[in-house]
C-alpha cells in the first residue's frame, strides 16, 4: 500500500471537504457545478485515491512471490 | 507505563467520571434533538408539530451548550487541577456539593424543557411547567420559574467549582512557595476568572429581574436590559466552551503528536488575553438592537477584532508543537512532516480536525463581528453555521477526541473500537462541513434561523449557488452524519466503561514545554493584576450602555407583561389581539 488505511480515510474526508467548499467558491466566480456532477467528481476522486492507496509499491514483493 | 489517574486519585476520578456521565447524557439528548430539527426544518421528515419544534430547539441549545460542554469542562478541569498540582481538593465533600448543585439545577431545567412535550403540562409554582424560551431566554418570553431556578443553581454550582479549584491552588501554593503555577492549573484559574467576571450579567438578569418577574413578585422588566445582561455573559460563555478544548490542544495534543508544547509563556499569554477581552465584546451580538448607541457597538466591534490575536497565537503554538512532534517521529521536509503525525490515533486526529474547522469557523466569526456585514447574516442560518463550526466542532469534537485519551485513564479500561473511533471523528468532520456549508450559503440569502418553517408561502429565496432543495438535502445529510457520529461516540464510551477485563494502552504523562515557565515573565502569574484590568475594561465597555438603557426605560421597564410560550395557539392569538389593540388605541 502507498499509505495506511487511516491516512486514506483522512485523505478521502479532506477531498470531500475541498469538493464541497471548492464548489461554493467556484460559484462565486460564475462557475456552477451541478450536484450530480459534483457527486460524480467526488466518486472519481475517491476511486482514484483508493486505487492509488492499494496499488503495491514499486519494488515491493507481490503475493505470488 | 505510568500509574493511571484512577489509581493515583480514585476519589477525584469518581467525580470526573460523574461529570463526564452527566455531560454525555446531555450530549445524547441534545444530539437527538439536533437530528429532529435538521429533518423537520428541511421538511424531509416530520413527526412532531411545528409548535413542539421550539421545545426541541430549546432542548438542543441548553442540553448541548450548557450541560454537555460545562459538565465536561468541570470534569476535565478537576482532572487538570488534580493531575498538575498532584493533589486533590481541600475537601472532596465540597467538590461533590458543587457537582450536586449543578446536577440538581440541570435536572430542574431539563424537566421544565421536556414538559413542553406534554399536551397538558402540570402546574408548578403557579404556572404551567414549560420553558420554550430557547437558549437565550429573551424576555418577555417567559418560562416556568423552575427553569430559571435550575439555571441559577447550575451557575452557582459552576461558581463553587471555580472557588474549589482556587482553594486547591492556594493550598498547593502554601506547600510550594515560590513555584510557578503549573500550566494546566493556570489555564483552569484564568478560565474561571473569566467566568466569574462574565457570568455576573446573567446572574443579575436571572436573580434580580427574570425570576422575580416569572414568580409575579415584580410586574414588569426591561427586555433590552435583560437581553444586554445576557450578552454580557453570552460571548464570554463562548470562550468558556472553547477553553477546555484549548487546554487539550495545549497540553495533550503536543504529546499525542509525539513531541512537546512549543511555548508555555505563549499559552499563558493566550489565556490572559481571553480574561481581558472575552467579556467587553458582548454588544456585538446586539448590533441590530435599538436602544444602544452605535458608538458603543463600534467599540464592541473593535474589542472583538482584538480577540483574533489569541486565536492566531494558538494556531501558531499548537501547529508548531505538532510539527515538533512529527519531526521527533522522523518527519521531514516542508510539508511531508504532516505524514509522520499519528493519524491512526482517534484522539489526535479528532483534535487536529477540530482545530482545522476552528480556523475556518473563526473567519466566519469575523463576518459576524463586523458591524456592516453582520446586518446581512443577523438572525440568518449563517449564525448556526458559525456556532456549529465553533462549539459544535472545535469544542465538541475536541472533547470527544479527548475522551478517547482520558476515559481509559479514568476507568482503567482499554478503549473499545479504536478504528471505529477514528471513523467516528472523521465522520463528524465530514458531517459538519456538509451541514455548515449549507447553513452558510442559506444564511447569505436570508434563510432565517430559529424557525420550524423557513419557507414562506409565495416567496422563493434567490439562491445563487444550487437550489433550496439542494441546500436542505445537504443540511439534512450533514445532520444525519453528525447524529450517527454522536451515537457511535456514546456507544464506544459505554463499551469502554464496561470493558473491565482490559488494560489501557494510554500513557497519561505530559512532557514539559520546550520553552517552559522559567522563560515567561513572573507578571503573567499575577492573577489579581489581570482580573483588575479585565474588570476595568468591562466597566469601560458596559457602564455607559447599561446606564443609557436604564435611563431610557427604567430598571424594570414600563409595563412589560410576560409572553408565555404555550402549545395553546389561542394564547398567541390573544396576545396578538391585545398588542394590535394597544397599538390602535
Query: Nearest CA to B537 among B286, B216, B167, B194?
Result: B194
Alpha-carbon distance values, B538 to B194, B242, B300, B531, B554 (Å): 11, 20, 11, 10, 22
With a CB cutoff of 8 Å and minimum separation 6, the contacts of B563 are B140, B141, B142, B575
Q: How far is CA B385 from the centre of its chain?
A: 14
Task: List pLDDT tens digits, range B273-309.
Answer: 999 999 999 999 999 999 999 999 999 999 999 999 9
Closest residue to B437, CB basis, from A4, A24, A32:
A24
CA atoms of B138 and B288, how far apart (whole Å): 15
Cβ within 8 Å, pair A9-B422:
yes
Task: List pLDDT tens digits, range B535-558.
Answer: 999 999 999 999 999 999 999 988
Q: What is the pLDDT of residue B569?
A: 47
Query: Nearest CA to B66 among B237, B197, B274, B228?
Result: B237
Inter-residue contact B343 to B361 (CB < 8 Å): no
- B108: cell is 430542574
Inter-residue contact B37 to B7 (CB < 8 Å): no
Inter-residue contact B226 to B551 (CB < 8 Å): no
Average pLDDT of the segment spanning B528-538: 97
Closest residue to B426, CB basis, from A10, A20, A23:
A10
The whole-angstrom distance between A1's CA and the closest CA on chain B is 15
Average pLDDT of the segment spanning B471-494: 98
- Mutation target among A24, A36, A39 for the B interface, most CBs of B within 10 A: A24
Inter-residue contact A52 to A8 (CB < 8 Å): no
Q: Write down the domain spans for chain B.
A: 13-584
The total of other beta-carbon atoms located within 10 Å of residue A44's CB is 10
Average pLDDT of the segment spanning B246-255: 97
Cβ–Cβ contact A21 with B under 8 A: yes
The total of other beta-carbon atoms located within 10 Å of residue A15's CB is 17
Inter-residue contact B345 to B256 (CB < 8 Å): yes
Average pLDDT of the segment spanning B250-254: 97
With a CB cutoff of 8 Å and minimum separation 6, the contacts of B73 are B191, B240, B241, B243, B244
Alpha-carbon distance values, B174 to B22, B85, B167, B171, B391 (Å): 33, 12, 11, 5, 37
> May I ask the CATH class of domain B13-584?
mainly alpha
Task: List pLDDT tens digits, range B99-112.
Answer: 999 999 999 999 99
Cβ within 8 Å, pair A21-B465:
no
The whole-angstrom distance between A27's CA and the closest CA on chain B is 6
Amino acid at each position: 500500500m502507498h499509505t495506511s488505511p487511516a491516512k486514506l480515510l483522512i485523505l478521502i474526508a479532506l477531498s470531500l471537504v475541498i469538493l464541497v467548499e471548492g464548489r461554493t467558491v467556484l460559484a462565486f466566480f460564475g462557475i456552477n457545478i451541478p450536484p450530480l456532477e459534483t457527486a460524480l467528481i467526488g466518486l472519481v476522486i475517491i476511486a482514484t485515491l483508493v486505487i492509488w492507496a492499494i496499488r503495491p509499491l514499486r519494488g515491493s514483493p507481490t503475493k505470488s512471490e | 507505563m505510568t500509574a493511571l489517574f484512577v489509581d493515583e486519585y480514585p476519589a477525584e476520578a469518581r467525580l470526573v467520571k460523574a461529570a463526564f456521565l452527566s455531560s454525555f447524557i446531555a450530549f445524547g439528548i441534545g444530539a437527538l434533538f439536533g437530528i429532529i430539527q435538521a429533518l423537520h426544518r428541511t421538511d424531509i421528515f416530520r413527526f412532531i408539530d411545528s409548535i413542539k419544534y421550539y421545545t426541541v430547539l430549546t432542548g438542543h441549545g441548553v442540553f448541548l451548550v450548557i450541560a454537555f460542554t460545562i459538565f465536561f469542562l468541570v470534569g476535565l478541569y478537576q482532572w487538570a487541577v488534580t493531575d498538575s498540582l498532584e493533589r486533590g481538593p481541600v475537601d472532596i465533600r465540597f467538590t461533590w456539593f458543587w457537582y450536586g448543585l449543578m446536577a440538581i439545577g440541570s435536572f430542574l431545567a431539563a424537566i421544565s424543557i421536556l414538559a413542553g412535550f406534554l399536551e397538558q403540562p402540570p402546574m408548578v409554582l403557579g404556572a404551567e411547567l414549560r420553558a420554550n424560551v430557547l437558549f437565550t431566554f429573551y424576555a418577555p418570553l417567559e418560562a416556568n420559574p423552575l427553569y430559571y431556578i435550575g439555571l441559577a443553581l447550575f451557575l452557582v454550582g459552576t461558581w463553587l467549582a471555580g472557588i474549589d479549584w482556587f482553594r486547591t491552588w492556594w493550598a498547593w501554593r502554601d506547600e510550594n512557595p515560590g513555584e510557578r503555577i503549573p500550566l494546566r492549573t493556570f489555564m483552569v484559574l484564568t478560565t474561571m476568572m473569566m467566568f466569574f467576571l462574565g457570568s455576573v450579567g446573567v446572574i443579575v438578569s436571572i436573580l434580580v429581574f427574570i425570576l422575580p418577574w416569572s414568580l409575579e413578585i415584580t410586574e414588569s422588566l426591561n427586555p433590552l436590559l435583560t437581553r444586554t445582561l445576557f450578552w454580557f455573559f453570552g460571548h464570554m460563555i463562548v470562550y468558556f466552551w472553547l477553553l477546555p478544548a484549548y487546554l487539550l490542544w495545549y497540553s495533550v495534543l503536543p504529546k499525542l503528536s509525539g513531541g512537546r508544547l512549543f511555548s508555555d509563556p505563549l499559552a499563558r499569554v493566550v489565556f490572559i488575553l481571553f480574561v481581558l477581552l472575552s467579556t467587553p465584546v458582548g454588544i456585538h451580538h446586539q448590533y441590530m438592537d435599538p436602544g444602544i448607541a452605535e458608538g458603543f457597538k463600534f467599540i464592541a466591534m473593535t474589542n472583538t477584532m482584538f480577540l483574533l490575536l489569541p486565536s492566531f497565537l494558538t494556531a501558531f503554538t499548537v501547529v508548531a508543537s505538532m510539527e515538533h512532534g512529527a519531526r521527533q517521529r522522523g518527519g521531514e521536509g516542508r510539508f511531508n512532516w504532516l505524514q509522520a503525525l499519528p493519524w491512526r490515533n482517534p484522539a489526535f486526529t479528532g483534535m487536529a480536525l477540530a482545530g482545522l474547522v476552528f480556523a475556518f469557523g473563526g473567519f466566519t466569526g469575523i463576518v459576524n463581528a463586523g458591524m456592516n456585514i453582520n446586518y446581512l447574516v443577523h438572525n440568518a442560518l449563517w449564525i448556526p453555521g458559525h456556532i456549529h463550526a465553533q462549539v459544535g466542532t472545535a469544542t465538541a469534537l475536541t472533547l470527544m477526541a479527548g475522551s478517547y485519551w482520558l476515559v481509559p485513564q479514568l476507568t482503567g479500561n482499554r478503549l473499545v473500537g479504536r478504528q471505529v473511533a477514528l471513523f467516528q471523528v472523521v465522520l463528524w468532520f465530514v458531517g459538519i462541513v456538509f451541514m455548515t456549508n449549507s447553513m452558510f450559503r442559506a444564511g447569505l440569502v436570508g434563510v432565517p434561523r430559529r424557525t420550524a418553517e423557513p419557507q414562506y408561502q409565495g416567496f422563493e429565496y434567490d439562491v445563487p449557488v444550487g437550489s433550496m432543495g439542494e441546500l436542505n438535502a445537504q443540511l439534512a445529510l450533514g445532520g444525519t452524519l453528525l447524529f450517527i457520529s454522536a451515537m457511535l461516540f456514546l456507544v464506544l464510551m459505554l463499551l469502554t466503561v464496561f470493558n473491565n477485563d482490559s488494560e489501557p494502552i494510554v500513557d497519561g504523562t505530559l512532557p514539559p514545554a520546550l520553552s517552559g515557565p522559567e522563560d515567561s515573565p513572573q507578571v503573567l502569574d499575577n492573577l489579581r493584576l489581570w482580573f483588575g484590568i479585565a474588570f476595568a475594561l468591562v466597566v469601560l465597555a458596559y457602564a455607559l450602555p447599561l446606564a443609557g438603557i436604564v435611563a431610557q426605560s427604567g430598571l424594570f421597564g414600563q409595563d412589560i407583561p410576560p409572553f408565555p410560550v404555550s402549545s395553546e395557539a389561542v394564547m398567541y392569538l390573544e396576545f396578538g389581539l391585545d398588542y394590535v389593540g394597544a397599538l390602535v388605541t
